[in-house]
Chains A and B, each alone.
Chain A
Amino acid sequence: MIVALNVGLVALILGLAVWAIVAREPFAAVVGFIAYGLLLTLVWVQLHGIDVALTEAAIGGGLTGALLIGAATRLRGTEAEARAERPGPATRWLAAAVSVAVTLALAACVLVLPVPAPTLAPEVAAHMAATEVGNPITSVLLAFRAMDTLLEAIVLLFALIGVWSLTPDRFWGGRPGLRQGYDANGILAYAARLLPPIGIVAGIYIFWVGADRPGGKFQGATILAAMWLLVMMAGLADAPPIRRTWLRALLVAGPLAFIAVGLVGAVRAGAFLAYPPGLAKPLILAIEFALMPTLTLILGLMLVGTPQRGDTP
């Protein structure tokens, strides 16, 4: 029964992946990709990675899907030209040959992976008590490999700076995205009034519970960002101009707080990002608390994209 479920899942996933690659219309391909992302969430559940499943559903399927749908709609006019450039059959056969070669090599590697599998789970279990959190993944992300999490927040910020740097000069400092019309009786406005309070509570809960159970700041921040995007799309609020100091201050507050906590650790506990005994949980919570608004803003702003109009409302 379980085997049939997994085999069925794999078949569906491969089918959707092929669809995403070969579908004629980019819009259809993106829709297939979103379904693919949702099925991947199930794969993570089968692989006992609930935190990853939450992240995949939120960011991999949800935000990425929204981003790609927006792009597919905007780029409708460019499809014909691309179709004319399709390579001939010889190139496609060659491409297929090298792709199959890579797949076969990887499959061979999967089959010769060592048994028993080398794992760091016992090490994590042994040292988790010092980090004072109950979720082993949180202990890895915010204690053992906290540097990677700091760098991850910085990667997001760099991508946002890159997106902003593309602004046409005349719109610099302006608002991202187009002004959305507000239809007071429309269903979008209704949803944008009904859902955000629920979404905000859900987001904050997921962030809070991540210390001891599956969840965490990325998943929580995605839900908050989604609520903000909903409000913007319904026209209830407008995207902030990127020159606003409060916006920029909130964007850097997360990483700067993270670095500050790290420096406290350097002074009090002997190494950057170390936690003095007894202060681990409060410091971890402080980092996550500071990162939440930063992540929410970055995720939302990346979705609305490059500024396309001036500063005035």
Chain B
Amino acid sequence: MRAMTEGLLVLAVLAPFVGLLVGLVLGGGRAQRLALLTLPVGLVIAAGIAATLVRSGETLVYLLGGWAPPLGIALRADGLSAVMLLAVAVVICAIGVYARADFWNEAGAPEARAPFAFWLLLLAVWGSLNLVFVSGDLFTLYVALELLTFSAVPLVCLDGRGETLRAALRYLLFALAGSLLYLLGAVLLYGGYGTLDISLLAGRIRPEPIAWAAAALMTVGLLAKTALFPLHIWLPPAHAGAPAAASAVLSALVVKGSWFLVVRLWFDVMPGVVTMPSAQMLAGLGAAAIVVGSVVALRQERLKLLVAYSTIAQIGYLFLMFPLAFDAAGRLVHGAVLTGGLLQAVSHATAKAGMFMAAGLVYAALGHDRIADLAGVARAMPVTVLAFAISGLALMGVVPSGAYLAKKIMLDAASGTGQWWWTMVLQGGAVFTAGYVVLVLVNVLRRPSGPVQLVKRVSRLSELAALGLALCSLSLAFAALGPVPGKVVSDPLAPGELGTTLLVFLGGALLALGLARRATAGIGAAFGVGVAFEQADAFLRRWPSASIALLTLAALFGWLMLAGAPA
């Protein structure tokens, strides 16, 4: 029985892949139906793994082929893996429901390219992500990263336009550069320690030059694939140009794969090698991502680009937890802060998927997504706008969203360790997020000058899928309250908390007022600031700047690990 429950780890990877293989042969409408059938199967497997973990309380381990590391490969699922497996399964199911309207191959009709490719690629992304979450060997993880990239890139250019093909090529090349740096680090680790298994390495690794070089290279390679500022060159056009269901997969899920590996690397492989200064820099990049991403999001004319830049900002949040997770001895530990970071990731995945789905529905209904021309949409498509609004609230960290709880946990850790600057970033970040959410809401709630022309009726099921995910994110705090220490969350409905939320909204409205692009010139200085941010972002998103930044960051990380190492 025990072997069967651990066999679920293998099934989690195999189920989507087998679905893809059989679907490739079946073709057309049958492939699509098979894909839709695989979704609940995968969800059940993920739930099974989570349930087993809750019951037994220890990490699930599965030795492939019966061979133990260092000779063989082990699959491992701890709490981190199980939560991510479950979250990804839920989001993929919702996206599957949503995408039926956009990518439908009629039974008996000849096979159409875009739906066929979409369903196969959806299963491919899912299987690859599951492999990332459960694999316990660094080389298998390299192959998993490549699987993920090869599944994600064709999703970007699914519509076949020149601009999306360009975005896809840029994404592929930058992601490949990241994979190579990761592989280089893994090679160095094998050369130094003779194994690529995560737990064996954790036991053998020491703070020395080979480990520092490997840590720096692998981290930076993964950051390139996660599009953390300033390595976000590929993300905005790729996520904005992809079809809505694909954007949801890319923003909500694909970037979580490489982020997860950074967490694994820092917390499980090298907790004693990574130093506080390097963690501070990592979180510093995150803070910069929040500010720059949010301001440039405010300046966008198109809704999908706004949501894409919002992803860049939210990715910054995912890295704030690193300097807060050190224990008194200077090692990274699995504790409350890691739970907070995980909560942030899951909240973002659900909310962002919901947001992109809503944006896609608006685009499909209106035929365009110009923010300035969205007046009256709230009345014409109330469910969609509600989904968007709730996703925005969830991202802002309004009670009782998962982001709210995550922020509380991290604020507690920040004050506990005396890192007041992260307190400021955590509190201020919500204002920046509120900025672009308020901007969109103001525009959709405006009274239109004439009746709103809807080009197409959108599927009610798709709207409900978007709304469902948004509500998930907004209510995540309830699900997570169990494992979190009670003292972290004081009464959420106290006047203090509500006052903070109101302040956040106000701050966001001010930002939107000052920085957003408008037909008439805005308030002088603030407007200039907005343009400056845009130009900085455009500069960083050129290939030479981004690739030089990539290697410079690797050098910086390496140096910070060397400099901060215990004597």
Chain A residues at the B interface, C-beta cutoff of 8 Å = 87, 91, 94-95, 98-99, 101-102, 105-106, 108-109, 112-114, 117-120, 123-124, 127, 143-148, 151-152, 154-155, 157-159, 161-162, 164-169, 172-173, 243, 245, 248-249, 251-252, 255-256, 259, 265-266, 269-275
Contact = CB atoms under 8 A, between A and B. Distances in A.
B349 to A, nearest CB: 22
B554 interface: yes
Nearest to B553: A98
Contacts of A158: 124, 147, 150-151
Nearest to A124: B71
A256 B25 CA distance: 11
Given A91-B544, A145-B73, A251-B24, 6 more contacts: A113-B210, A157-B21, A166-B157, A172-B112, A255-B21, A256-B18
Contact of B210 (A112, A145, A251): A112
Interface string B62-79: 111111001111000000
B111 interface: yes
A271 B7 CA distance: 8
Interface residues of B, number: 64
B62 to A, nearest CB: 7
Contacts of B150: 155, 158-159, 162
B146 interface: yes
B418 interface: no
Contacts of A266: 7, 10
Nearest to A162: B154
Contact of A273 (B21, B24, B27, B64): B64
B245 to A, nearest CB: 15
Contact of B551 (A87, A98, A256): A98
A289 B271 CA distance: 44
Interface in B69-107: 70-73
State the 9 A-B residue pairs at the shortest beta-carbon distance, nearest first: A118-B194, A165-B117, A98-B551, A274-B66, A271-B66, A172-B113, A162-B154, A252-B21, A273-B65
B144 interface: yes
Contacts of B554: 102
Contacts of A169: 112-114, 160
A260 B185 CA distance: 34
Given A143-B67, A151-B144, A165-B113, A99 B551 contact: yes
A149 to B, nearest CB: 10
B174 interface: no
Interface in B145-170: 146-147, 150-151, 153-154, 157-158, 160, 165
A242 to B, nearest CB: 10
B209 A148 contact: no
Contacts of A112: 208-210
Contacts of A98: 548, 551-552, 555
A271 B121 contact: no
Contacts of B110: 173
B399 interface: no
B3 interface: yes
Contacts of A99: 551
Interface of B: 3, 7, 10, 14, 17-18, 21-22, 24-25, 27, 62-67, 70-73, 110-114, 117, 120-121, 124, 131, 139-140, 143-144, 146-147, 150-151, 153-154, 157-158, 160, 165, 184, 188, 191-195, 208-210, 213, 544, 547-548, 551-552, 554-555, 558
5 contacts: A98-B552, A105-B555, A151-B143, A165-B121, A259-B18
A154 B154 contact: no
Given A151-B143, A256-B21, A272 B157 contact: no
A168 B67 contact: no
A165 B143 contact: no
B71 A127 contact: yes
B64 A106 contact: no
B151 A144 contact: no
A249 B157 CA distance: 26
A82 B112 CA distance: 35
Given A148-B73, A161-B117, A271-B66, A119 B194 contact: yes
Nearest to A250: B25
A124 B70 CA distance: 10
Contacts of B18: 256, 259
B64 A147 contact: yes
A292 to B, nearest CB: 17
B216 to A, nearest CB: 8
Contacts of A101: 551, 555
Nearest to A145: B73
A154 B109 CA distance: 28
Contacts of A272: 7, 10, 62, 64-65
B410 to A, nearest CB: 33
A259 B544 CA distance: 43
A144 B21 contact: no
- Which of A99, A265, A266, A269 gathers most chain B CB within 10 Å? A266
